[in-house]
Amino acid sequence: MTTLEIRRFVTPRQRHIPVLATLALLVGMYGAGIVAYDGFDDTQVVLNVFIDNAFLLVVAIGMTFVILTGGIDLSVGAVVALTTMIAASLLEKGWSPGIVLPLVLAVGAIIGLAMGAVIHFFDIQPFIATLAGMFLARGLCYVISTDSIPITETFWTHMAQDKLRFGGFHISYSVVIALVVVLAAAYVLAYTRFGRNVYALGGNQQSALLMGLPVGRTRIAVYTLSGLCSALGGVLLSFYMSSGYGLHALGMELDAIAAVVIGGTVLTGGSGFLFGTVLGVGVLGLIQTIITFQGNLSSWWTKIVIGALLFVFIVLQRAVARRSR
């Protein structure tokens, strides 16, 4: 029995097991942090996780749509960096933010659209097509400049430095933008025809074709959406870093994939929840926070722990699939 056939018999309760496991992991990590470190129970610590990872959350949302169709997008980190470079260079030349913002979002969407079209019309594996997109976007960064470009424009500075304060706590504008994107994406996946098509395409492409679903249009749309989310993530990263640089977001594509998989989305597509991706980003951010509180561990331990968690969650997904036989 193939993975696609197995997925047909997975009950809704079984599909929730990886997400519930992620939630339990997140709660357990937070509880352990409270026990081990003074000040870890401060609410601002949790808010800082989302402040520091708002751009990753937006990128991971686009990646969720792609993986739900059974695809992959390796270009997201490079598109994030390209967005920061284009924005920084144009703002340095005196362009208005009202022009720069839609322009960089359009560039990301066009790159995603092009990759989706290549994947569909030429029947190219997503790994290869998006790898080419990654090299293209990263190379364009260095065509613009090999150096970091600082951003001092008033609007960008305002978005970077000003906070929304409530009850003695604060969040950045980037967190608000990320949450709006999460809610919009969750609505699209749960309540629109496009969302149902995404799940159907990931579940079984041949069945989707026989049902008359717009497979090609859906596949191209998810890569366009991923490119758009990557560009928006690049805008949020430029707020966070106040600069554009070709070396920004190195490896972010792997972090986004890790967040989606740890959040319970099956790599072969057709099963997963956007809420799980939010939890997955929270897990990654909490790992970084715990290592920071520990103080004597290298930041590379973050990658080691993420790798171990990825292994565990992939095994968990396979175990759920086997129980469904």
The pLDDT value given to residue 13 = 61
Q: Please report where in the chains the tokens 């951003």 appear, as a residue.
A: 151
| Per-residue pLDDT tens over the stretch 47-73 | 999 999 999 999 999 999 999 999 999
1, pLDDT greater than 80: no
Which three-class secondary structure state does DSSP give residue 244?
A: strand
Residue of 132 and 209 predicted with greater confidence: 132
The pLDDT value given to residue 114 = 98
**Ranges 40-44, 88-92, 196-200, 202-206: which has the least confidence:** 202-206
The pLDDT value given to residue 4 = 43
Residue of 64 and 296 predicted with greater confidence: 64
7, pLDDT greater than 70: no
Tell me the average pLDDT across 187-197: 95
The pLDDT value given to residue 5 = 42
Q: Please report where in the chains the tokens 């497979």 appear, as a residue.
A: 215
The pLDDT value given to residue 312 = 85
The pLDDT value given to residue 12 = 57
Q: Residue 157 maps to which CATH number?
A: 1.10.3470
Structural domains of the chain, count: 1
Indicate the pLDDT class of residue 324, thresholds 50, 70 and 90: low
Tell me the average pLDDT across 135-152: 96
Domain holding 279, by residue range, is: 3-323
| 0.75 surpassed by pTM | yes
3, pLDDT greater than 80: no
Taken in order 206, 210, 211, 213, the sign of the CA dihedral is: positive
Crossing angle for the helix pair 97-121 and 76-92, to the nearest 10 degrees: 150
Phi, psi of 57 (to 5 degrees): -60, -45
| Per-residue pLDDT tens over the stretch 221-246 | 999 999 999 999 999 999 999 999 99
Which amino acid, residue 222? V
Q: What is the dihedral of CA 60, 103, 133, 265, to 10 degrees?
A: 20
Which of 89, 76, 176, 94 lies closest to 133, judged by CA? 76
What's the rounded Cα separation, in Å, for the pair 139 and 93?
A: 21
Indicate the pLDDT class of residue 46, thresholds 50, 70 and 90: very high
The secondary structure of 261-291 as a DSSP string is HHTT--TTSS---HHHHHHHHHHHHHHHHHH
Give the number of other Cβ atoms within 10 Å of residue 186's Cβ: 18
